[in-house]
């Protein structure tokens, strides 16, 4: 039975945020990836277009998200559905770190506005 203990989670950092990876093929997952996002105050991640659906649930705090040009403020308890091909940017305009739980299917890639492609290790 694959149980990933908090102490075994792998942490990655990019664009000022932390991604604490729990479910990946390396930990036994066959189809899904799941991680905790830690978005510090003032962090603004660059807009990126995803090739897989992502479900982002806010655990603690608030975020300002822009999805395909529409901006919304989401808070603890809110869930954002990001469909494949959507362009997303995330910002934490508050004074406190926001925590999220994100799930996607294995194979997630993101493309930045400049054409750079990212294959995040916490989702593959």
Distance CA 97, CA 65 (A): 15
Instruction: Name beta bridge partners: 37.
Output: 19, 100
Per-residue pLDDT tens over the stretch 54-100: 999 999 999 999 999 999 999 999 999 999 999 999 999 999 999 99
CA atoms within 13 A on the CB side of 49: 11
Domains contained in the chain, CATH given: 6-123 (2.60.120.10)
Q: Say if CB 33 and CB 52 are below 8 A apart.
A: no
Residue 1 is predicted with a pLDDT of 66
pTM of this structure:
0.93
Instruction: Return the sign of the alpha-carbon dihedral for residues 36, 19, 106, 85.
Output: positive
Assign 30 a pLDDT band (cuts: 50, 70, 90).
very high
Looking at residue 3, its pLDDT comes to 93
């Amino acid at each position: 039975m694959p149980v990933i203990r908090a102490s075994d989670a792998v942490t990655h950092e990019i664009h000022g945020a932390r991604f604490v990876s729990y479910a990946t093929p390396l930990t036994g997952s066959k189809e899904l990836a799941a991680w905790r996002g830690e978005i510090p105050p003032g962090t603004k991640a660059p807009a990126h277009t995803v090739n897989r659906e992502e479900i982002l649930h806010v655990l603690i705090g608030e975020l300002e998200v822009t999805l395909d040009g529409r901006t919304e403020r989401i808070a603890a308890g809110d869930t954002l559905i990001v469909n494949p091909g959507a362009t997303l940017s995330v910002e934490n305009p508050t004074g406190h770190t926001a925590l999220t739980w994100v799930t996607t299917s294995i194979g997630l890639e993101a493309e930045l506005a400049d054409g750079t492609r990212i294959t995040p290790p916490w989702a593959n």
